[in-house]
Structure 1
C-alpha cells in the first residue's frame, strides 16, 4: 500500500496543480473518483493484468466507460499512467487529490479512534481543538476500538497522535525490555 501511495503522490500533485490553475477542482475530483472506481473493478483489473492487453485497448476501455467525457489533460494523465503501468495507483491519486482539495478549501478530514464512544462534550472539545490546530473546518469521523483500553488516537492525513493506554503500555514494555 505504501508503495502505491508513493507512486500516486507525484501524479496527484501534478493533477492538483493543473486543476487549481484551471479552476476545475470539482471536475477533477469527479473524474478521479470515476477513474478510481473503474480501475478498482475486478473485471478491469483482470483485463489490465492480461499480458495480451495493449495500452491502447486499456485507454479505449477507460474512454468508453467514461462515456467520452474526457479532455486533453485527462487523456494525458491516462496515457502517461498507462504507459508507465501505474493505473493501479489511481485510487490513491484520487485520495491524495481529495486531501489536497480539502486543504485548499480549508477543510480537513480527521479520524478519532477511542476505546469508548465519545460524549457530546468530548466531541465539542475535540472539534474546537482540531479546528484551531489546523486552522480549518475539521470533519471528524469517530470510531470505537476496545483494544485501546482507554484514551484516543487522532489521525489527520499524515499527522497522528496516539494517546491510547495500549500505546503507552507497549512503550513501557519496550523500555523495560531494553
Structure 2
C-alpha cells in the first residue's frame, strides 16, 4: 500500500496543481472518481495487468467507457500513466487527490473507532476537539470494534492515536515482559 501511494502521489499532486490553477477541483474529483471505479473493475484490472494489451488499447477502453465525461487533461493523465504502467494506481491517485482537496478546502477526514456506539455528547466533544486540533472542519466517520474492549482509536491521514484499552493492555504486557 505504501508503495502504491508513493507511485500515486506525484500524479495526484500534478492533477491537484493543474485543477487548483484552473479552479475546477470538483470536475477533477468527479473524473478521478470515475476513472478509479473503472480501474477497479475486475475485467479492467485484468486488462491493465495483461502485457498483451498496449497502453493505447487500454486508454481507448477508458475513453470509450467515460464517453463525453473524459476531459482532454484526463485523457493526458491516462496516457501518461498507461505509458509508465501505472494505471493500477488510479484509485490511490484519487485518494491522494481527495486528501489534497480536503486540505485546501480546510476540511479533514477522520475515523473514530470505539468499542461501543458513540453517544451524541461524545460526538460533540470529539468533533470540537478535532476541529481545534486540525484548525479545520473535520468530517468524522464513526466505527465500532468490540475487540478494543474500551476507549477509542482516532485516525486522521497519517496521524493516529490509539487510546483503546486493548492497546494499553498490550503496552502493559510488553512492560511486564521486560
| TM value normalised by structure 1 | 0.96
Asked if 1:95 is matched to 2:100, the reply is no
Gaps of 5+ in 2: none
Measure the CA separation in 2 of the matches of 1:130 and 1:93.
26
Give how far 1:177 is off. Answer: 2.3
SS in 1 for 2:57: helix
Asked if 1:57 is matched to 2:57, the reply is yes
Check the 8 A contact 2:63/2:70 in 1, yes or no: yes
Partner of residue 109, structure 1: 109
Check the 8 A contact 2:148/2:165 in 1, yes or no: yes
Give how far 1:72 is off. Answer: 3.1
After superposition, residues 1-178 of structure 1 pair within 5 angstroms as: 1-178=1-178
Which deviates more from structure 2 when the two are superposed, residues 24-33 or residues 47-56? 47-56
Check the 8 A contact 2:48/2:88 in 1, yes or no: no
Give how far 1:141 is off. Answer: 0.8
Give how far 1:124 is off. Answer: 0.6
Measure the CA separation in 2 of the matches of 1:146 and 1:52.
47
Measure the CA separation in 2 of the matches of 1:18 and 1:86.
19
Give how far 1:54 is off. Answer: 0.9
Check the 8 A contact 2:111/2:140 in 1, yes or no: yes
**Residue deviations 1:10-66, cap 9 Å, x none?**
111111111101101000000000100010000111122222111110010111111
SS in 1 for 2:67: coil
Runs of 4+ in 1 over 3 A off after TM superposition: none
Give how far 1:101 is off. Answer: 0.8
SS in 1 for 2:69: coil
| TM value normalised by structure 2 | 0.96
Give how far 1:106 is off. Answer: 1.4
**Residue deviations 1:90-143, cap 9 Å, x none?**
101101111111111111111100011111111110010011111111111111
